[in-house]
Homo-oligomer: A and B are copies of this chain.
Amino acid sequence: MERKTIAEALRDGLREEMTRDERVFCIGEDIAIPGGWGGAFTVTLGLEKEFPERMINTPISEAGLFGAALGAAMMGMHPVADVQYGDFLLCAMDQIVDQIAKMRYMSGGRIKVPITMRAPVGATGRGAQHAQNLESIFFSVPGIKIVCPATAYDAKGLLKAAIRDENPVLIFEHKLLYGSKGARAESGAVDASSEIPEQDYIVPIGKGVVRREGTDVTVIGTLMMMHRALQAAEQLAGEGISVEVIDPRSLVPFDWELVEASVRKTGRAVVVEEGPRRGGVGAEIAAELAERVSDYLTAPVKRVASPDIPVPFSPPMEDFYRPDAARIVEAVRKIVS
């Protein structure tokens, strides 16, 4: 076992899948330039040397490249299409939402669309257009699976599961969790590295995990918010509040079984997300829990999220925008009181 960052683990995952299966290829901007960066966050670094014909470096044409991935997928290829920042998914929105997500359905189930899509999210000092957490937008689109790895182990396992899935899978990755190095390192980064097994493994899409066991309240969060939840749980333990932290890992499909079991035990839930509150993923989780386990809830589900504003640039405002451990602590204190 070796310790790897998310960027490294994803790179290994791509390499292994491309080695295993000739149909797998990568398509994206600045992903295959000798002397370049391996995409915006070093994930594909050097892969162009190993797979010169399967690293497709595109012009800046997001609609074009996602549409091309769809065409190739229908011909039996397994493309991994990425954007440099999740925000740019919006430039390919029609291809993703109208074409990729619906093609199988419109064909009456006669076509498979094995596409993996990768998109970095998270506010990182770059201003409103390189910062959005778009989970809430894609979450409501039927026909796309969505995963959100918070650790290197999960990143590799979910990526490999996504590539082997016969359906469109969108992977949201967090800029501050990559562990990108050198000139591409991020300030404010959080260590999300893991011990990675030598042998092949996947993390099944749709299965969450309990990150920390507890009895008083269930805190649910993915990506960076999972790490913040763990921090909060640690702090709250000192106050005698026992927090169970659940990382759903997949948003679509969602591991209701795991979350429900936890909430039946704790009787309280706090849902944390980095995106804006209104219409967020947290709303769905809260609404569902209210229907699914209403008899067990001793308090209404609480949501911790960003306010309904674009992401501001200046650090004091950005820090105010993004939920942190303190805000989770506060919400938990309120719900247990």
Contact = CB atoms under 8 A, between A and B. Distances in A.
A128 B102 CA distance: 7
A162 to B, nearest CB: 19
Contacts of A276: 140, 142
B310 A300 contact: no
Contact of A290 (B94, B105, B139, B290): B290
Q: Within the oligomer, what is the number of copies of this chain?
A: 2
Contacts of A284: 278-280, 283, 287
Q: Would you call the interface of chain A mostly helix, strand, loop, or mixed? A: mixed
A71 interface: no
Question: In the complex, which range does the number of interface residues on chain A fall in?
Answer: 35 or more
A282 B287 contact: yes
Interface in A221-258: 252
Contact of A287 (B98, B287, B312): B287
Given A94-B90, A283-B287, A290-B287, A312 B105 contact: yes
A132 to B, nearest CB: 8
A330 interface: no
Contacts of A281: 279
A195 interface: no
Contacts of A288: 283
21 contacts: A88-B94, A90-B98, A91-B94, A98-B129, A102-B128, A105-B128, A105-B309, A105-B310, A106-B128, A106-B310, A137-B137, A140-B279, A140-B280, A142-B310, A252-B278, A279-B281, A279-B284, A283-B284, A287-B301, A287-B303, A290-B300
